[in-house]
Amino acid sequence: MVKKMETNNLTEEEKLIEENIDKLVPISKLKAAKINEILTKARKNRSISLRISHYDLEKLKEKAEKVGMPYQTLINSILHKYVTNQLLDEEAIIKVISSRISV
């Protein structure tokens, strides 16, 4: 006999899954393989060699120390945000906001 879990200890996402479990449809083996391939590639890190100016590296190290992370992690985060279009230019945002306020 399958015992139903108590819902009072579940997160909202877990409760939603439990409420809709009978509506879930299994995916094909081909689709599962493609998803697994994408996730595997996303998790693999590769070492690269990168030439960077001494000044830029020192500034990156200073910023990394301020936020409490290794500078390599900060560089990786910046690159990830750039390639996923999540890196925002603060000055550009301020210009856009300022232009809309002054209209």
Alpha carbon separation from 30 to 25, 36, 38, 40, 53 (Å, rounded):
15, 10, 13, 15, 46
* Predicted pLDDT of residue 88: 83
At residue 75, the pLDDT reads 94
Q: What pLDDT was estimated at residue 3? A: 55
Distance, first Cα to last Cα, the chain: 67
Sequence-separated (6 or more) residues with CB below 8 Å from residue 52:
60
pLDDT of residue 7: 52
Q: Tell me, what's the pLDDT at 6?
A: 57
Residue 95: the pLDDT is: 84
Against a cut of 0.75, is the pTM above it?
Answer: no
pLDDT means per 10 residues, the chain with 103 residues, are 62 89 88 88 83 96 95 92 86 83 67
Predicted local distance difference test score (pLDDT) of residue 57: 97
Tell me if 77 sits within 8 A of 63, measured CB to CB: no
pLDDT of residue 99: 82
pLDDT of residue 72: 93
Upper half-sphere CA count for residue 44 (Cβ side, 13 Å): 8
3-state DSSP helix/strand/coil % of the chain, to nearest 5: 65, 0, 35
Cβ neighbors of 69 (< 8 A, separation 6 or more) are 77
